[in-house]
Amino acid sequence: MPKIVDHDARRAEIVAAVWRVIERAGMDGATVRSVAAEAGVSPGSLRYYFSDQGELVLFAAEAMTQRVVARLEAHSTEGDGLARAIRVLEEMLPLDEDRRAEASVWLEAIVRARVDERLSALKTAGWFGSRYLCRLAWAHLHDLDRPNSPAFTFDTATDERAAAELHAFVDGLTLQAVTYPEQLATGEVRRMLRDHLKTRL
């Protein structure tokens, strides 16, 4: 009897291997051969799912986005506005092993999008997705109507500007936490986010 392969499970294993390789060796290190070795499969088996490095990285970045969305959907509505805003924004910050890998993949994908057209649309969608989360956090913080899509904008220029500034802060904090983990431990990243939001109440 032929072996039944769970392709969804295999893809998830491969994506996890991609993240590990990129975090350890960068985007250029995420070749079909290196990811196959990390995942414990043959390069030929890997090419069943991805024809080249670009497709492999694109799938990993898309899967990362889906993971963030799934965690957001599982969030509790308990707590005050500050607590809810923190929970939303912490999903974008490298606060544990999974989120550090996700942030590393995302930053590498953004850089690669400059030379790989396949990642260009993902980069644009990622920007709007991050801005949406910052608008959502701002709405929690000030008890405003919740954004219902990435196309949402606040009625006032003041709230839109505040969300844009929050977006820039979180992006900068993510970049520094990924690049200089020895300078920004998890507790310090959490403290900086909380302190920043408190000044915006």
Amino acid 51: pLDDT: 81
Mean pLDDT on 125-139: 95
> 176 falls in which pLDDT band (50, 70, 90)?
very high
Whole-number Å distance between alpha carbons of 127 and 120: 11
Is 81 a residue whose pLDDT tops 90?
Answer: yes
Structure confidence at residue 2 (pLDDT): 45
Residues 106, 22 contacting (CB under 8 angstroms): no
Length of the chain: 201
What integer pLDDT is reported at residue 15 of this predicted model?
A: 80
Nearest Cα neighbor of 61 from 5, 120, 7 is 120
Over pLDDT 70: what percentage of the chain?
Answer: 98
Give CA–CA dist 82/105, Å, rounded: 28
| pLDDT of 121 strictly over 70 | yes
Query: The pTM is what?
Result: 0.86
Taking phi over 0 as left and psi of -120 to 50 as alpha, with beta for the rest, 61 belongs to alpha
Measure the CA–CA gap between 11 and 32, rounded to whole angstroms. 14
